[in-house]
Structure 1
Amino acid sequence: MDALLPFVLLAGGLAAVLGSFTWLASRVRRRGLAGGAMGAALASYEEAFRTTAYASHVEIRAQAERRSPLLSPDDDWRRAPAAPDGTG
């Protein structure tokens, strides 16, 4: 029985640690504290190990931040005349 005591203690300690991580994860999810930190951690993971996914992530963020140019109310709103070569 003395030979099993270290394994039982190890299994009990592991169960306690996993239980505390589960409790912490549910608490973080409930309060919504992991949004920015989790996004940054996943982005750095994807940058290191999945470069194509990270490149897509960067492009999607750039598209989301990009704004289309607005026309000025003072500008002429008519269409521009056609180019001499017939385009436009």
Structure 2
Amino acid sequence: MNELFEIFPFGAGVLLGLIWSRVGGPRRRLVAWALSCIGLGAFATFASGEWRKSVLYFLFDIGLVTLVSVTVALGVAYWRRLSRGA
């Protein structure tokens, strides 16, 4: 079951990146995205039990969710721009 929690930050980041552009205005979008990254990353650390080993796992999982969601959101924006031009 622990393997599931290791993949969770990636999956959460992908889903967050895909729905990022659908949330309210720019400021609301940024606040919602930041809170979601923190919440999902913290959940991944709690669920896997890594917080018992070191508190630094919070930073790692939050950073992982953030990095993946930004990468996916940029990829979606690039793909939309390409599909409009065609």
* TM-score for both structures, normalised by structure 1: 0.32
Higher relative contact order (CA 8 A, sep 6+): 2
Which structure carries more helix by proportion?
Answer: 2
Of structures 1 and 2, the larger Rg is shown by 1
